[in-house]
Structure 1
Amino acid sequence: MAISYKFYKANEQRVKRMALVYLNTFDKPHHRRVYKWAEKQLEDWGFSAFNLMGLATGIIEYEYP
């Protein structure tokens, strides 16, 4: 988690945008390729599949209460 947090602080806007893409496409079958791409990007940045939805949901709740 330390790597992903460091990356998150350095690239906050990029991570937020990618998390929003992930959250907005995960339940839409016709956006499957975009969802998998966003998931892979976030995993490459150090976020595990387990905490991706928590990250995306937390950003939504924080940015848009």
Structure 2
Amino acid sequence: MYVNQATDLVAFSYDVNSGTITLHKRIKKAFPQMRSPDGFFHYIDDNKVIVDWIPKK
């Protein structure tokens, strides 16, 4: 199975019988950071991730 975890792509498998998850591979920064609704790319630290933008009213 694959999952988009923030900016990383993670490949893993789940064994139903034992209930274990095995991580096979993580590709860091496979997906770009989210741009703001106005199209700008705002600088953030490497240890932070933008998960949503909320427009001001």
Structure possessing the higher relative contact order (Cα contacts under 8 Å, 6 or more residues apart): 1
Structures share a fold, TM > 0.5? no
User: Based on CA coordinates, which of the two structures has the bigger radius of gyration?
Assistant: 2
Give the TM interval when normalised to the shorter protein: under 0.3
Q: TM-score, normalised by structure 2?
A: 0.24
